[in-house]
Amino acid sequence: MSALAAGATPVRRVTQRRVARSEWTKLRSVPSTRWALLITLLLIIGIGILVCVVFESRWPHLSAAERHRFNALDRSIAGVNFAQLAIGVLGVLVITAEYSTGSIRSTFAAVPKRLPVLWAKALVFGVVAFVVTLPALLIVFFVGQAILSGQHINISISHPGVVRALFGAALFLTVMGLFGLGLGAIVRSTAGGIAVLAGLVFVLPPIISLLPSSISNSVDPYLPSNAGGAVWTIHPDPNTLAPWTGFAVFCAYAAVALAVAAVLLVRRDT
């Protein structure tokens, strides 16, 4: 049979680019990706619109203090607070699903050097996360501001820091996904990876806030979600890092997680 004739298939070496194409095929061909991305979009858009509708309708009844605290940008993209978990969980799944299903054996048999797989997953998933979340953020911003304009409390896209915050939110969600990918690759179990991610993002901040304020004020800005949060707000409270400084700290968390994952990936048995 010609299908098996030796030499029928030309020999082509494994390259980073080819592994990235393979990872793109893998990412788009499982239902869990579509579900997690859909949930991320619904959280970003749905929560933002809901918050804007409520503020617009309740505005005449709000106290002066509340009106003073109101921030039209932050409210319209408030869904990022919840979407970060969805995108982080998807990041975890991108690698842990390979371990739980056993497909990691096929993957590493094809790419036995292994590291190209991790970089390809990070690249492909990072691009997908950014490309999906940025439009969602722009949509919810414009729809949200249109709603808020009913009370003339909307903010313009040309207002200083707004464009940076919208791009920053998309970058923040992307890096959160990569953070999840790194944690998942370290832990190699879906439940474990999600638990560690949720612990660092949602459980650690309230624990730190229990400490004396002299300690919590100095630690708080450096926690992953707080550091990363600096880049997608325009009226930060004083105890927050500068936008891109905070984002750099957040990127460092993800980079450390991926670096540890890379070291372990090469060393461990499959």
Smallest gap from Cβ 268 to another protein, in A, equals 9
**172 φ, ψ to 5°?**
-60, -50
39, 111, 194, 262: which one binds another protein (CB under 8 A):
111
Residue 38 binds to another protein (criterion: CB under 8 A): no
Residues in the chain: 270
CB of residue 117 to another protein, shortest distance in Å: 9
- Classify 50 as helix, strand or coil: helix
131 near another protein, rule: CB under 8 A:
no
Site string for another protein, 74-103 (x = CB under 8 A): -----------------------xx--xxx
* Among 109, 152, 206, 214, contact with another protein (rule: CB under 8 A): 109
**Span 5-34, contacts to another protein by CB under 8 A:** 5-9, 11-15, 18-19, 21-23, 25-26, 29-32
Among 54, 58, 69, 106, binds another protein (CB under 8 A): 106
Tokens 């920053």 correspond to 168
Q: If DSSP codes are grouped into helix, strand and coil, which group holds residue 7?
A: coil
Q: How far is the CB of 101 from another protein (least distance, A)?
A: 5
**What is the closest distance, in whole angstroms, from the C-beta atom of residue 113 to another protein in the complex?**
6
Judge whether 121 and 94 are in contact, CB under 8 Å. Answer: yes
H/E run at residue 31: helix 31-58
237 lies in the binding site for another protein (CB under 8 A): no
163: which 2 tokens?
């464009």
Please identify which residue in 58, 67, 105, 235 interacts with another protein, judged by CB under 8 A: 105
Among the listed residues 60, 65, 206, 269, the single contact to another protein using CB under 8 A: 269
Residue 264 near another protein by CB under 8 A: no
